[in-house]
């Protein structure tokens, strides 16, 4: 049975995609068979892994809305062991179309069922909303990873997110757990970063991963080369932090 992990936070720009892409790349490089499912119409994760959007004819939209088998849409990335179920901006249409399709919250789960045993870990990169696309990810997932940006208003919206997790547990996915909180874009020179880290630890306790992701320009540059940090600049501070996070995720899961 694979582990299904959704990287989620409805707040925009907190490091969801950077975390998903780099975790996926490290996990794959450590020999795990990985599927990254890009659930965001912005398709940043697909692009960050070097997928050429102009070359994709079909994406998650076709799987969710038209019932195209996931197997026919999944592509290999340039990294061994790492496959991608890509998104394109067309996926934005699914947000609306899902509303009138039954079952609307479990379509992703049903679509992944035939392929999921090909993988050890499946990662979902969620959009910055608590829309039906995100609910589909939460319904499919075993656990969530929540990135929190070490900036002003970092914890704003967290209670809404935890409430959504509760609702999903009550109605659709009772087993859903929080795997961990990742502090991102940490700047050790600022008091603010330290304060956010402290607040997050107060709120989430031991759920906060020990690995903290620093603000690191190499992490921000890597996507424009279609490369995860492990290939773009493996010696950078950002790379070391994501490698450590990856080890922590593997340890927690005993896999």
Q: Which residues bind Mg ion (CB under 5 A)?
A: 16-17, 44
Tell me if 86 contacts ligand ATP by CB under 6 A.
no
Tell me if 18 contacts ligand ATP by CB under 6 A.
yes
Q: How far is the CB of 235 from Mg ion (least distance, A)?
A: 25
Burial 187-226 (b: 16+ CB within 10 A, else e): eeeeeebeebbeebeeebeeebbebbbbbbeebeebbeeb
β-pair partners for 143: 5, 177
Tell me if 93 contacts ligand ATP by CB under 6 A.
no
Compute the distance between CA of residue 202 and CA of residue 204 in angstroms, rounded to an integer. Answer: 6
Site for ligand ATP in 177-216 (CB under 6 A): 184-185, 213, 215-216
Assign 3-state DSSP to the chain and report helix, strand, coil percentages, each to 5. 50, 15, 35
Out of 219, 230, 239, 249, the residue judged to bind ligand ATP by CB under 6 A: 219
Q: How far is the CB of 41 from Mg ion (least distance, A)?
A: 10
Which positions ≥6 away from 253 have C-beta within 8 Å? 3, 121, 179
Hey, is 23 helix, strand or coil?
A: helix
Q: How far is the CB of 18 from ligand ATP (least distance, A)?
A: 3
Q: Which two tokens stand for residue 139?
A: 């319904």
Tell me if 44 contacts ligand ATP by CB under 6 A.
yes
Q: How far is the CB of 50 from Mg ion (least distance, A)?
A: 16
Residues in contact with ligand ATP by the rule CB under 6 A: 12-18, 40, 42, 44, 128, 184-185, 213, 215-216, 219-220, 223, 238
């Amino acid at each position: 049975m694979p582990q299904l992990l959704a990287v989620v936070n409805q707040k925009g720009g907190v490091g969801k995609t950077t975390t998903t892409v780099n975790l996926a790349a490290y996990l794959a490089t450590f020999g795990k068979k990985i599927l990254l499912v890009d659930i965001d119409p912005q398709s940043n994760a697909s692009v960050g892994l070097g997928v050429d959007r102009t070359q994709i004819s079909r994406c998650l939209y076709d799987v969710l809305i038209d019932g195209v088998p996931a197997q026919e849409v999944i592509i290999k990335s340039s990294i061994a062991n790492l496959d991608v179920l890509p998104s394109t901006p067309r996926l934005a249409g699914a947000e609306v179309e899902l509303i009138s399709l039954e079952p609307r919250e479990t379509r992703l789960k049903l679509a992944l069922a035939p392929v999921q045993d090909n993988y050890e870990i499946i990662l979902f990169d969620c959009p910055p909303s608590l829309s039906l696309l995100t609910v589909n990810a939460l319904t499919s997932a075993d656990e969530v990873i929540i990135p929190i940006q070490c900036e002003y208003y970092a914890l704003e919206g967290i209670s809404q997110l935890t409430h959504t997790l509760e609702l999903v547990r009550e109605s659709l996915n009772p087993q859903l757990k929080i795997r961990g909180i990742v502090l991102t874009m940490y700047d050790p020179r600022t008091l603010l970063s330290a304060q956010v880290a402290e607040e997050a630890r107060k709120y989430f306790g031991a759920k906060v991963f020990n690995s903290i992701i620093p603000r690191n320009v190499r992490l921000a540059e890597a996507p424009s080369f279609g490369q995860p940090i492990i290939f773009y600049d493996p010696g950078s501070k950002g790379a070391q932090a994501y490698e450590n996070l990856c080890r922590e995720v593997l340890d927690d899961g005993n896999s």
